[in-house]
Structure 1
Amino acid sequence: MGRSRGGLSTKNHAATEALGLPVRLIGSPGHRNDIALAHDLVDGFQAEAALPIRDTMPIICDRIVKARAKIGIPPKRNRKVQRDYNAELYKERNPIERFFNKLKQFRRVATRYDKLLNNFMGFIKLAAIAIWLK
């Protein structure tokens, strides 16, 4: 799971499969907290492992553990309860970042021509299809 900012007023959230190809894309207003849409991003997936982009979302990490999936990101050092994580899996966390970098290769995404979130997300989905087809 991850997010990338599209301009100053929106956030793009994505879930990818193991090779970094997008399987779910959600857009949200920039002022909205990431956790507000995190459940929508992960609901309905059954995976052997999950790599949230960071450990600032303990609710999502707990949900992943309850789904019996391996979690591949270490807990923050200041957490009172330290949970286990798969260190080898942690090394494989960059496909989501590579996906967002591929999205930014599309000029219309990088420069944020569309002012409305629906139009912008429409083009992001078209760009994601192009990434799938490459």
Structure 2
Amino acid sequence: MGRGDLSDEEWARLEPHLPANRGRGGRWQCHRRVINGILFRQRTGLPRRDLPPRFGRWKTVHDRHRRWLVGGRHAGENPAAVQADADAEVRIDWSVVSVDSTTCRAHQYAAGASTRAPKIPGRRRRPARHRFDEALGRSRGGLTCKIHLAGESGRRPLGFVITPGQWGDAPQMIPVPEEIRVPRQAGGRPHNRPDHVGGDKAYSSRRNRRHLRRRQIKHTIPEPRGQRANRRRRGSQGGRPTGFDKTIYRRRNEVERTINRLKNFRAVATRYDKRAYVFHGTVTVAAVRLWLSPE
């Protein structure tokens, strides 16, 4: 086992959720070796063609990654299975879930994606379904994209959304919690509603607070000075002051530490993928690795 590869304990958690080791023309290459190759590329950010020989053919690693991206049914590209195991073991803290975002610089090779639909190995090319901007935005620093995520106290992401770098945080306060869908092993509806949601003042808006109240989710979001002045100026029509719990707000650092753990993967800290759905899969693989970690 090389540095950064899956340990025996982590592999025991992941293996039951992977497809049977049988391909169309025979047996697939060892899942563990291929997944270690995917993780090596995630950790180092090197081109897939430069993978060390111990992971097998680079194209095998590339094709397996793409096939699972399109399917999204296995734990290799879908964290729901390993999240369900963690929930069954009571390793998920639903008391407070914080939301935050981070900007990722995009490499120059990540630009210029074709508007045609990507060619998936073993499948016919379909009409273009992905956004033309591919979740890339321009700023003074160049091309950027943004990851909006919800994290729990164990420094692991429960759900995330990829947007262009210039998009604001407040409009993503509703889509990000909707990405939280942890299946229950005993059956029934998935667990998708935390007890409390925290965020910084960038997420403060009437629309967001109304949505959280409708879902019966308590929230701790500070009100910016301008919104407070506007509410007071309107008098009784401005509504009641928003509640604020300093103790819960201090826990917002948990999602910031979750972002730091995700950005330990160089392929996440710097976007090298042209397609938005490929970069989404890159972040998903990093999230799965964090859920497999015993920490």
- TM bin (shorter chain): 0.7 to 0.9
Aligned residues: percent identity? Answer: 28
Deviations 1:9-30 (A, max 9, x none): 3111111233332111211122
Give the counterpart letter for 1:14 in structure 2.
L
Where in structure 1 do 4 or more consecutive aligned residues deviate above 6 Å?
A: none
Deviations 1:80-109 (A, max 9, x none): 253111221111111111111111111111
Corresponding position of 1:47: 194
Corresponding position of 1:29: 164
1:88 aligns with 2:281: no
Q: Normalized against structure 1, the TM-score is what?
A: 0.84
How far is the alpha carbon of 1:47 from its aligned partner?
1.9
1:115 aligns with 2:274: yes
Deviations 1:51-106 (A, max 9, x none): 12334431213322343333223222331253111221111111111111111111
In structure 1, runs of 5+ residues without a counterpart are none
In structure 2, do the counterparts of structure 1 residues 55 and 27 end up closer, same or farther at CA, with 3 Å as the change threshold? closer
Task: Please give the alpha-carbon distance, in whole angstroms, between the structure 1 residues aligned to 2:169 and 2:151.
Answer: 17
8 A contact 1:21–1:99 mirrored in 2: yes
CA RMSD of aligned residues (A): 2.1
Q: Is the deviation greater in 118-127 or in 81-90?
A: 81-90
Task: Please give the alpha-carbon distance, in whole angstroms, between the structure 2 residues aligned to 1:31 and 1:90.
Answer: 26
Task: Please give the alpha-carbon distance, in whole angstroms, between the structure 1 residues aligned to 2:150 and 2:248.
Answer: 16
Give the counterpart letter for 1:15 in structure 2.
A
268, 274, 284: which one aligns with 1:125: 284
8 A contact 2:198–2:221 mirrored in 1: yes
8 A contact 1:55–1:61 mirrored in 2: no
In structure 2, runs of 5+ residues without a counterpart are 1-98, 106-142, 181-191, 232-238
Q: Normalized against structure 2, the TM-score is what?
A: 0.41
88, 96, 101: which one aligns with 2:260: 101
